[in-house]
Amino acid sequence: MSRKPPLELVAPGAVARPSQEEAMAAVRTLIRWAGDDPGREGLADTPDRVVRAYGEFFSGYAEDPVEVLSRTFTEVEGYDELVLLRDIRIESHCEHHMVPIIGKAHVAYLPDHRVVGISKLARVVELYARRLQIQEKLTAQVADAIYTVLKPRGVGVVIEADHACMTTRGVHQPGVTMVTRRLLGCFREDPVRREFLAMVGRPGGTAAGL
């Protein structure tokens, strides 16, 4: 079965990053635009806090998924069943409004002679989540990275998340969850497809299912 090329294994092209002071000045501008005084006591240190918070929120641009997944193990004693990590917490930010995307990811693969430490699966999810994102792209990036680097028989990724750009602005629809998936290799075929979707609580896998 042919392998699709990775959607994006590296961060977007290098950009000229502003200095910390330039970033803080931009935050002060936004505070003034919102209608408040960035110099008042309660806001005086906010630009510094925001810039440091952004350093955490978007730390994924500095990480390499290939490096994260490169250390694998071949002593698996003939294990040839699904490896699934469920309910990986996702904290990301919408690239359209820069507001939170909060949810969980379910990641599985069917090994072909080698496995990776399970913490590395969670790290790959976090790495891509800590960039400006849309959920569809995040789902594809995680699946493609695992499929390309580990070269397993197949990969499945399902992400369920709430988007603040929909719940706190615009249509104001709280409680709405977006579900996306990407299935590669043998995960596109039954019975592996059905087994995976059942294990993550999404039975079926037909058009009427997930």
Catalytic residue, candidates 135, 141, 160, 186: 135
Residues 26-36, mean pLDDT to the nearest whole number: 97
In 37-134, alpha helices (H): 46-57, 65-69, 118-129
In a 3-state reduction of DSSP, which class is residue 185?
A: strand
163 given a catalytic annotation: yes
pLDDT digit string, tens, across residues 95-143: 999 999 999 999 999 998 888 999 999 999 999 999 999 999 999 999 9
Catalytic residue, candidates 21, 96, 136, 189: 96
Provide the pLDDT confidence category of residue 200 given band limits of 50, 70 and 90.
very high
95 given a catalytic annotation: yes
186 given a catalytic annotation: no
By the 8 A CB rule, do 64 and 124 touch?
Answer: no
